[in-house]
């Protein structure tokens, strides 16, 4: 068994898609995040749902969560507009602080996948073949294959 | 809407359950991890699947993943035995380096939940009522409620 045999479909967004599309995709797929690809279809980042939320929460609430009031109609409309007005690339952390994209080659062994997830503390790996994304291998799928 | 309305069922293991049970639960539920509870049923940690894999992968492979060979019958039997012989508490990172348990009170607002996930970079929060776990709120569920 190789990495490509573990690869599953995963939600993907483009760097220039609206941030609202990314938020909705994470919500509807119920995954912890989405894979972000560039113009050539090459994966460049994983955008976690928590990063989208970071973008939504006013900075004074991030500094002091006790100031978080109710999420009312006005707040809802504001955050929807804010997401719709921004692109996925605007939500990504600075390149300097980028989390390394967790990737693995399609012919990596199961043990190689496990080692990469362990090293990167990542619950997923983007599986690549000739630079293109084949799918995503998750730690859960791997554990299911090994001990299920 | 409050945190308790976002709470979903989530796989739970006890500190003294076998590590193999935790591995199988993550695999069968296809979640990124499990919540770990103590003798009083109080959640004490989230055990990520990547941490279980870390425990499985020989240290020489973690240091140099190119040494990862195939996962053969012998390796499989060894790792199964290793998991069965250890408890969940043996898999948790040292207390000093513990990731802070991402918790939120049952009556936290949606904005409060979003702020906590953003601050902790966590895709999930354990929702507590009187110290007991009500369920888990995920970033995906929150985004679905807001923009779905």
Residue B104 contacts by C-beta under 8 Å, 6 or more apart in sequence? B3, B112, B113, B116, B125, B126, B127, B128, B137
Would you mind telling me the total number of residues written for chain A in this entry? 148
Prediction pTM value = 0.89
Give the integer Cα–Cα distance in Å for B109 and B1. Answer: 7
Q: What are phi and psi of A83, to 5 degrees?
A: -70, -40
d(CA B36, nearest CA chain A) in Å? 16
- Using CA coordinates, name the residue in chain B closest to A68: B112
CB pairs under 8 A between A and B: 201
CB contact under 8 A, A139 and B75: no
Run of H or E residues at B137? strand B132-138
Q: Band the pLDDT of B17: cuts 50, 70, 90.
A: very high
Whether B44 contacts B128, CB under 8 Å: no
CB contact under 8 A, B139 and A26: yes
The pair of three-digit structure tokens given for residue B9, joined into one six-digit string: 């069922």
Mean pLDDT of chain B: 89
Chain A residues touching residue B8 (CB < 8 angstroms): none
**Residue B21: predicted pLDDT:** 97
Q: Which of B1, B21, B27 to mutate to test the interface with A (most CBs of A within 10 A)?
A: B27
Give the integer Cα–Cα distance in Å for A58 and A129. Answer: 40
Least Cα distance to B66 among A112, A137, A107 occurs for A112
CB contact under 8 A, B143 and A27: yes
The string of pLDDT tens digits covering residues B112-142 is: 999 999 888 889 999 999 989 999 999 999 9
Beta bridge mates, A133: A128
Residue B142 contacts by C-beta under 8 Å, 6 or more apart in sequence? A27, A49, A53, B6, B110, B113, B114, B117
CB contact under 8 A, A69 and B111: yes
> What mean pLDDT is predicted for residues B77-96?
86
The string of pLDDT tens digits covering residues B63-72 is: 777 777 777 7
């Amino acid at each position: 068994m190789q990495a490509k045999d573990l690869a599953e479909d995963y939600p993907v967004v483009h760097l220039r898609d609206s941030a609202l599309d990314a938020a909705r995709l994470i919500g509807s797929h119920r995954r912890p995040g989405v894979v972000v690809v560039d113009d050539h279809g090459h994966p460049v980042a994983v955008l976690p749902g928590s990063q989208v939320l970071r973008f939504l929460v006013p900075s004074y609430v991030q500094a002091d969560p006790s100031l978080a009031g109710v999420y009312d109609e006005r707040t809802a409309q504001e955050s929807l507009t804010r997401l719709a007005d921004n692109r996925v690339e605007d939500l990504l952390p600075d390149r300097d602080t980028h989390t390394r994209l967790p990737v693995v080659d399609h012919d990596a062994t199961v043990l190689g996948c496990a080692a990469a997830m362990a090293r990167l503390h990542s619950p997923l790996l983007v599986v690549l073949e000739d630079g293109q994304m084949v799918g995503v291998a998750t730690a859960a799928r791997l554990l299911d294959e090994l001990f299920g």
